[in-house]
Amino acid sequence: MYLKRKYISLLYVLIIALTVGCSNSMEEIVYNFPLERDVVEQVILEKQLTWRIEDEQSLNEGQSNFSLRDEDNVFCSINSTDGEWGRVIILQFHFPLDYTTEQIQQFNKEEWPSIFELTCTFYGNSKNAKKIYKEFLGYLKGRNSNEYDYGYFTKRIDDTHFRVKLAPFTNNSNYYQIATLEILNSETYEKRAFEFAKGWINRAKRQGIKVLDNISVSDIIEIKTEDEELRLIVEGHLEDIQELKNIPKNLQEVLTHHAHKDDYFTAKLVDDTSSMDVFVLATSLNSRELGQDRSHHINYYTKGKLSVINFSPLNE
């Protein structure tokens, strides 16, 4: 009886030890940002990628940038930032001019899953890598790179935003290549919206497009101008947000690329004066966040009085 009790006790201790050990082994590693060289090399080795570091730079405090190449001379930069602008990692890719259709097909099939896992591992959420990649593949099913030009996949899990910019492969537009893959938190997402909006304004001015600031919704409805296109900044919030079943003809006519229905949705822009129908570029902000008062930066097309919201920074 004593030996039996002793055996049961030892078995119980062993089970607890194994459980704790498995729990610890499953614990997510969160690497300090900006990433350091030994961490980048270690994770790349663990993921069995053939990338080698060619150069390392730190242009600003709290930032690191690594330039890498693989065996086929595909270039990748890994930029990680922390501090004032929050936690963000960005991977950018460039392919050799002589890269073939067969090579891009092989790269997309074999390297894409590892790239998603690599980026998520660096950021500290590798547990989401397979889910994000599955969603990404689902996004690709609905589009053809030869028909829809660029693609912008965006997905959010809790406080983490995933963004992928796709570009048609240079040597065969039937295939996409990943141009940029980035992960950032909500704080960073909101801060970067301000920077993107500033760039949007500056580009418009360089192009000679009028920018009308502090304009109300009722003013927009009454706009009369000979300009074909304007830039508007309107403070308000969004209501009645809806997905598109297809791209309306009037929207496609004013866009410079062939848009996909998943790249836009519809909403009502509301302020103290009135409300109006708008198109909104796809975002990973949720309905509650878009219902807050924001500075909506709008491309306004006078033909058809069409409004497309590009950026919506929070009002300070």
Confidence band of 26 (pLDDT split at 50, 70, 90): low
Contacts of 307 (CB under 8 A, 6+ apart): 220, 232, 269, 276, 277, 278, 279, 298, 299, 300, 301
User: pLDDT (tens digit, 9 = 90+) per residue, 34-78?
Assistant: 999 999 999 999 988 999 999 998 777 889 999 999 999 999 999
Residue type, 180: T
Do residues 62 and 34 lie in contact, with contact meaning Cβ atoms separated by under 8 Å?
Answer: yes
pLDDT, mean over the chain: 88
DSSP 173-214: TTSEEEEEEEEEEHHHHHHHHHHHHHHHHHHHHHTT--EE-S
Task: Give the model's confidence band at 10: pLDDT under 50 very low, under 70 low, under 90 confident, else very high.
Answer: very low
Give the mean model confidence (pLDDT) for residues 171-197.
Answer: 91
* Residue type, position 88, single letter: V
Q: For residue 13, what pLDDT is reported?
A: 37
Residue 48 in tokens: 């069995």
Q: Taking the CA atoms of the chain, what radius of gyration do you get in angstroms?
A: 24
pLDDT in tens, 199-213: 999 999 999 999 999
Res. 8 pLDDT band, cuts 50 70 90: very low
pLDDT (mean) for 255-281: 92
Nearest to 294 by CA among 226, 222, 237: 237
Structure tokens at 65: 């940038």
pLDDT digits (tens, 9 = 90+) for 135-183: 999 988 877 667 777 888 999 999 999 999 999 898 998 899 999 999 9
3-state secondary structure of 288: helix
pLDDT at 9 over 60: no
**How far apart, in Å, do the first and last CA atoms of the chain sit?**
73
Q: How far apart are CA 74 and CA 45, in angstroms?
A: 17
Q: What is the pLDDT of residue 257?
A: 77
Q: Tokens at residue 161, please?
A: 């935003």
Confidence (pTM): 0.83
